Chain A
Amino acid sequence: MSSLLIWALLWEIIGQMHLTFFLPPLSEVLVTLVRILPTPAFLNALTETAYGFLGGVAAAILIGIPVGIMMGKSRLLDEMLLPWVNIFLSAPLTALVPVLMVLFGFGMTSIIITTTLFAIWIIILNARVGVMQINRSLIDMARSFGASPLEAFFKIYFWAALPEILGGVRIGVIRAVKGVIIGQLLISIVGFGALFELYSSNFLMGHFWAVLIVLFGLAFTISEFLASLERRVAYYAAKR
């Protein structure tokens, strides 16, 4: 907390010294922030971005976790899919966005798909690792007491892999923020992407930084929320 205050102070000082027009004083940015927050333009942009973000994250979680778990359980599926997951994980996905635009058009669909693509690979990988590190005896134990495969999934696999899954979701969500903004900058200029475009091309740097602070703040809050969930399962994470 105190280090943030030091940087805030530094920002204010540099801004007040008018060293560069790119960096207005923090106080000016905060004033602009408070002014634009309730405006319809801003709130629309927020809704637009939230829509794309949540859609993309939901798809990444609902598809990524089961795929990762199945890869962890099946050697065959794992060998077939793992190379692709690794390739897409390290690929510069921004370069793929024009391809997505050709395939899916210029609207919200493309933005959601972009967001999903940014988030899903790490979620798959972490779910996979979570399942693979499960202690064999736990599975044997559940089988020995008569667990069906479905029961084994919900009562053993899911909980045993949950710490890794949550970690993957946290990183995936952060990547999704990147994805939705890039989508909004490249595909259709809406939401926060539009605001960044607008403010930077008109050199309204105070507005630009204000929106950036909002975005960073939201991303940070979501990330911290997921981290708190991870801490709640940490009591058993190390002892599996």
Chain B
Amino acid sequence: MYSSKGITVAMLPTENTRPSTDAPALDSAVSVRNVSKNYGAVEALKNLSLEFPRGELTSLLGPSGCGKTTLLKIIGGLLEPNAGEIEVNGKTVSGPGPDRAFVFQDFALLPWANVIRNVGFGLELRGVPRSEREAIAEKYIGNVGLAGFEKSYPHELSGGMRQRVGLARALSVDSQVLLLDEPFSAVDEQNRRKFQEDLLELVRNENKTFIFVTHSIEEAVYVSDQIAILLPRPSRVSEVIRPSGFRHKDVENIRRDPEYLDIVDQIWASLRTYAE
């Protein structure tokens, strides 16, 4: 256990012990306990445990093949683990549920439906009547900055706009946990930066727990309250970092903050050896 310049880092000695941290005990919205997942002979996840504090954004960061998307899908109920369990708000879950909403890397929009139908799709599957779900959808379409595009179709929108639709859809169902699977990786750089800034504001304003998968170190350090670094073969959580110094700063100033830059360098130093 060491700390420097306001960063608290928890080192996890083995996979079998629960993570311990010097940070104040936080209420966990999602708990992952001893989860294992095999694809045939390949062990994607082995005995992995992690806590996701309520109301915060936790990143799962790691090189490709470290199992972060697999873990996210297990939390979301899209995959079944071979061992272990997931607890959301204190209750064990298996399978998808209204308490968790997904944002997909390739947007996963219905190409035959317009924006307002896409945003309302989660509500539609829940049986919410049309006028009500269109009203809710319109509100979130405005929130993500797509007002005026309600009747447009996905093929008429740019990549960044399509992901905003995906985000609005996930927000519309008002789940307590939002799962984001590399949501900005298929989006151009300018939009990506804008999204990261907007995400910070979203985390501040909405009282939800965010779980964010990314392979970009800078992105993770920029948006996260907590970063869990996953390493492959065998998949494990190697560190959990809680940046503290710059969380309150203005969005424009974060990327030049010394602590931000230090953490990015530090993570890169430990991940460097895993670059293929």
Contacts and interface: CB of A to CB of B under 8 A. Distances in A.
- Chain B's interface: helix, strand, loop or mixed, by majority? loop
A144 B111 contact: no
Nearest to A236: B111
A235 B155 contact: yes
- Interface footprint category on A: 20 to 34
Interface stretch (A50-58, A76-84, A113-121, A133-141): A133-141
B125 to A, nearest CB: 5
Contacts of A235: 153, 155
Chain A CB within 10 Å, residue with most, of B105, B112, B122, B154? B112
A140 B108 contact: yes
A141 B102 contact: yes
- Interface footprint category on B: 20 to 34
Interface string A138-177: 1011111111000100011001101000000000000000
B120 to A, nearest CB: 11
A135 B106 contact: yes
Contacts of A159: 110, 112
Contact of A137 (B96, B100, B108): B108
B84 interface: no
A93 interface: no
- Chain A's interface: helix, strand, loop or mixed, by majority? helix
A109 B108 CA distance: 46
Given A140-B104, A235-B155, A239-B154, A145 B110 contact: no
B75 to A, nearest CB: 11
A233 interface: yes
B158 to A, nearest CB: 13
A233 B113 CA distance: 11
A75 interface: no
A155 B110 CA distance: 9
Nearest to B106: A137
Nearest to B126: A146
25 contacts: A135-B108, A137-B106, A137-B107, A137-B108, A140-B73, A140-B108, A141-B104, A141-B108, A143-B78, A143-B96, A144-B77, A144-B100, A144-B101, A145-B96, A145-B101, A145-B125, A145-B126, A147-B125, A151-B125, A156-B110, A233-B112, A236-B111, A236-B112, A236-B154, A239-B111
Given A137-B107, A143-B78, 16 more contacts: A137-B104, A137-B105, A137-B106, A138-B110, A140-B78, A140-B102, A140-B104, A141-B104, A145-B125, A146-B122, A155-B124, A159-B110, A160-B112, A162-B112, A233-B112, A236-B112
Interface of B: 73, 76-78, 96-98, 100-102, 104-108, 110-112, 121-122, 124-126, 153-155, 173
Closest 6 CB pairs of A and B: A236-B111, A141-B108, A137-B108, A145-B122, A144-B102, A236-B112
